Chains A and B, each alone.
Chain A
Amino acid sequence: MIVPIDFVLLFFLLVTAIAAITLKDLFAAIVLLGAYSFIMANMWLQLGASDVAFTEAAVGAGTSTALMVAALSRLSRKARWEK
């Protein structure tokens, strides 16, 4: 019974992705994108692509999150857009 793990991962992947693009707090969105990358790495591992999973964990969850936090330090924390 290995298939349900796939579905659980996919569920959390969708939840974090939708939450990341709908949240108005940009810092929370960045942290959620890091969580998205981590779940995506788990999915790559589940699919048997361990090299891609490793790259996703190193770049997506590690370095790119830090870069986005550094970019956020120049912006205001709340997103503003016209309705």
Chain B
Amino acid sequence: MNPESTGYKRDVIIQTTAKLMVPFILVFGLYVMMGSEGTGGGFQGGCILAAAYILYVTAFGTEKGRVMMPESWNTFFTSLGLYLYDGAGLVAIILSLAAAQFLNYSAIWPLANILGIAEARGYMVAFVVDVGIGITVMAAFVSQFFDLAWKEKEEEKGE
């Protein structure tokens, strides 16, 4: 690192602003991810969740950010989102006794009967699919950000 680009100290204004903003950005990301009407979806919601985490890391540094979300969680969350998506697709096949296609939400009538809500068929599953996409996108973006921003101890001391 050249000193030109590192002339920057932790600032209390930035830290306080980040502390205030991060919960609201997270809630907004969840709203975008889960909201069924209007624009939004899993990808955008995951991006906003990742942006909240990147804001936290920018304000508090990579070490503190790593404490909030360890590296092994990235793999866990990436595969968890994929499994949620695939599971929601497979539930449509299994619960309709192989009568419906993959991700054919409207065919999940036994689940709706169990829950007792006729409108719930497909509705909840669409949520699960969106949440799966969002979790995967968030973990992937956070992983990319850390690959770019993380510096080893020797690397920071050298140069």
Contacts and interface: CB of A to CB of B under 8 A. Distances in A.
Interface in B132-147: 141, 144-145
B2 interface: yes
A16 B47 CA distance: 24
B48 A74 contact: no
Contact of B145 (A53, A66, A77): A66
B39 A63 contact: no
A60 B25 CA distance: 17
Interface residues of B, number: 23
A73 to B, nearest CB: 6
B93 to A, nearest CB: 29
Contacts of B4: 76-77
Contacts, number: 57
B87 to A, nearest CB: 25
A67 interface: yes
Interface in A35-81: 50-51, 53-55, 58-59, 62-63, 66-67, 70-77
Given A73-B5, A76-B2, A77-B4, A67 B144 contact: yes
B5 A76 contact: yes
Given A50-B38, A58-B48, A74-B1, 13 more contacts: A51-B40, A54-B44, A55-B44, A55-B47, A58-B43, A58-B44, A59-B44, A63-B47, A63-B51, A67-B145, A70-B149, A73-B149, A76-B5
Interface of A: 50-51, 53-55, 58-59, 62-63, 66-67, 70-77
Interface of B: 1-2, 4-5, 32, 38-41, 43-44, 47-48, 50-51, 54, 58, 141, 144-145, 148-149, 151
19 contacts: A50-B38, A50-B39, A54-B32, A55-B43, A55-B47, A58-B32, A59-B43, A62-B51, A63-B50, A63-B141, A66-B51, A66-B145, A67-B144, A67-B148, A70-B145, A70-B149, A73-B1, A76-B4, A76-B5
